[in-house]
Amino acid sequence: MDPEAFRTAGHDVVDRIADYLQTVERHAVLPSIEPGSLAALFPTEPPEDPESIAAILDDYSRLVEPNVTHWQHPGFLAYFATTASGPGILGEMLTAGIGSNAMLWRTSPVATELEGVVVGWLRRALGLPDAFDGLLTDTASTSSLIALGAAREAGGLEASRLGLAGRPTLGRPRVYASTEAHSSVEKACMTLGLGRESLVRVAADAEFALRPEALAEAIGADRGAGHRPIAIVATVGTTSSTSVDPVAAIADIAEREVLWLHVDAAYAGAVAIIPERRGPFEGWERADSIVVNPHKWLFTPLDASLLLTRRMDSLRDAFSLVPEYLRTLDRETPVRDYNEFTPQLGRRFRALKLWILLRWFGLEGLRRRIERHIELAAQLAGWIDADTAWQRLAPVPFSTVCFRHLSPGAAGEDARLDAHNAALMEAVNRTGEVFLSHTRLADRFAIRVAIGNLRTEPRHVERAWELLRQEAAALG
Ligand SMILES: Cc1ncc(COP(=O)(O)O)c(C=O)c1O
């Protein structure tokens, strides 16, 4: 594709993206698609002969665009939002154009150095001390994997050199997190060879926050049994209910027990850019590592996860391997080759889109939008609390509301209420106007409205509430 053909097609692509964003509300957020029906729309055989970009883009508009779940739709209130903001999309385009592999300083000096700058910007914006350095990864799952890999090294297991197999004298490694912690923590334990059973799920309280006394007891019992505690994961903003673990109390235990403390703030961490809202984060500045996902609530297109740590050396101990072909003369000078801190070699230039969008929004612009989401969630929680036909099932510290409808016919019967609320959520989602998800809280089906989409306005939340009441009445 010569540059002139690229220019013409590129303008067409930008038009298609702008049209999509402008008209995204004409789509059902969750399109009704029969599972397995899409593959048949595409040929089985790859094309032998070249096709025109015009034909390919037309097929894109016909076959791809309508068949996505529309994360960019302002009625997307399911899961935690990932919105691709305009400046974020432009950053992705420029990243693709430059095509850098940021594995070594030499292979992308500016990607490497701008990553350091952007990590510093975010760290300051979050109100964290200079002692934190860090890097950008694809997802919180990877960030937590890296953090626990580093914790495993810092805990003296020497696993990166010796592995864990056939070393019975080590004792069983142990990682602690609440029953509400994200599955990525368990997956990290699987992947790091610690095993799923190395993760001790510590009991949470009635508000779904980890109970520090239970944590201290679990560690004590494990030490007594000859196990080997290595890390604690505290969550600020759990996936189900957005509950907040008491990080300061957990940090006390981590310090006393000399354990790595990792804070998973993948979703809620963005709130810490608002100084007045840093209460739930108290104590996170004492962590060894913290993950915050710009691709959740900082309007960054997938993928971008920020891993901050005070202990870059432990990351390097866990993941550095430099064969001859990756040795560069620059190694003699104080430059950083980020691949040494991560399991993978090739790295995207993620700092570019963050640099662009942080400048375009300004911290003030980001704060204002996050604040609006928090206010919308408080408003929805207020409507629920004011209506005896509805029951809120968890506190709302950020922008996610969990609740259920108390169908009169099923009052007091949790199993029937579960089925009723599942049917209610499906009915609301079938309207296509909004998309809600669910979870289980205290073993009850909870409808979950997560507000965090850049384009969500008050009218979308009002409409969600209207649809919920309307469909609840229709279900009887
Ligand atoms: C608290 C928490 N941690 C981790 C993750 C995993 O994030 P990612 O998809 O970036 O791996 C999620 C996803 O929603 C989450 O809510």
3-state secondary structure of 67: helix
Distances in Å between the alpha carbon of 7 and those of 19, 274, 281?
Answer: 18, 41, 47
Per residue in 379-392, pLDDT (tens digit) is: 999 999 999 999 99
pLDDT digits (tens, 9 = 90+) for 402-412: 999 998 877 77
Sole residue written with tokens 């934190």? 132
Please tell me which residue, 322 or 236, carries the higher pLDDT value: 236
* d(C-alpha 17, C-alpha 34), whole Å: 26
Find, among 238, 236, 144, the residue nearest to 194 by Cα: 144
d(CA 278, CA 251): 16
Alpha-carbon distance of 155 to 231, in angstroms, equals 8
What contacts 84, CB < 8 A, 6 or more positions away? 71, 72, 92, 299, 300, 301, 302
pLDDT at 173: 95
Tokens encoding 263: 């804070």
User: pLDDT digit string (tens) for 103-116?
Assistant: 999 999 999 999 99
Residues 6+ apart with CB under 8 A from 246: 209, 210, 212, 234, 283
**What is the pLDDT confidence band of residue 351, given thresholds at 50, 70 and 90?**
very high
Six-digit token pair at 72?
């960019």
29 contacts 76 by C-beta, under 8 angstroms: yes
Residue 179 token pair: 């029953």
pLDDT for the residue numbered 325: 85
**Contact yes or no for 87/356 (Cβ under 8 A):** yes
140 lines ligand 1 (CB under 6 A): yes
With a 6 A CB cut-off, is 239 part of the ligand 1 pocket? yes
Q: Is 267 in the pocket of ligand 1 (CB under 6 A)?
A: yes
Q: Are 245 and 178 in contact (CB under 8 A)?
A: yes
Task: State the distance from the centre of ligand 1 to the C-alpha of 267, rounded, in angstroms.
Answer: 7
E-only strand ranges, 227-314: 228-235, 260-264, 289-292, 305-309
Alpha helix locations (H) across 73-154?
86-98, 109-125, 140-154
Choosing from 139, 184, 402 the residue with most ligand 1 atoms within 8 A of its CB, the one to mutate for a pocket test is 184
- Quick: pLDDT tens for 417-447: 999 999 999 999 999 999 999 999 999 999 9
- pLDDT exceeds 70 at position 330: no
Q: How confident is the model at residue 328 (pLDDT cuts 50, 70, 90)?
A: confident
- Look at residue 334 and tell me whether its pLDDT is greater than 90: no
> Is residue 333's pLDDT more than 80?
no
For residue 143, report the distance from its CA to the centre of ligand 1, in Å: 10
pLDDT category, 153, cuts 50, 70, 90? very high
80 lines ligand 1 (CB under 6 A): yes
Of 80-94, 259-273, 275-289, 330-344, give the lowest mean pLDDT range. 330-344
pLDDT of residue 323: 87
Contact 235, 209 (CB under 8 A): no
Q: Closest residue (by CA) to atom 5 of ligand 1?
A: 140
pLDDT at 90 over 90: yes
pLDDT at 435: 98
- The average pLDDT across 134-141 equals 98
Share of the chain above pLDDT 90, in %: 94
Return the C-alpha torsion angle 380, 386, 391, 393, nearest 10. 50
Q: Are strands 228-235 and 289-292 parallel, antiparallel or unpaired?
A: unpaired
How many degrees, rounded to 5, is the angle at CA 315 between CA 309 and CA 321? Answer: 155
Averaged pLDDT for residues 122-151? 98
Cβ of 305 below 6 Å from ligand 1 = yes
- Find out whether the beta carbon of 141 lies less than 6 Å from any atom of ligand 1: yes
Backbone angles phi, psi at 178, to 5 degrees: -75, 170
Which of 239, 271, 306, 350 to probe ligand 1 with, by most ligand atoms within 8 A of CB?
Answer: 239
299: left (phi over 0), alpha (psi -120 to 50) or beta: left
- Give the tokens for residue 278: 């840093």
Per-residue pLDDT at 332:
63
Q: How far apart are CA 123 and CA 290, in angstroms?
A: 10
* Residue of 267, 300, 448 with the most ligand 1 atoms within 8 Å of its CB, for mutation: 267
Tell me phi and psi for residue 76, to 5 degrees. Answer: -75, 105
Q: Which pLDDT band, with edges at 50, 70 and 90, does 413 fall under?
A: confident
Q: How high is the pLDDT of residue 408?
A: 80
Q: What's the whole-number mean pLDDT along residues 262-284?
A: 98
Q: What are the pLDDT digits (tens) for 203-260?
A: 999 999 999 999 999 999 999 999 999 999 999 999 999 999 999 999 999 999 999 9
Q: What is the pLDDT of residue 215?
A: 98
Q: How far apart are alpha carbons 384 and 375 in whole angstroms?
A: 14
Dmax over Cα atoms in the chain, in whole Å? 74
pLDDT tens for 13-67 read: 999 999 999 999 999 999 999 999 999 999 999 999 999 999 999 999 999 999 9
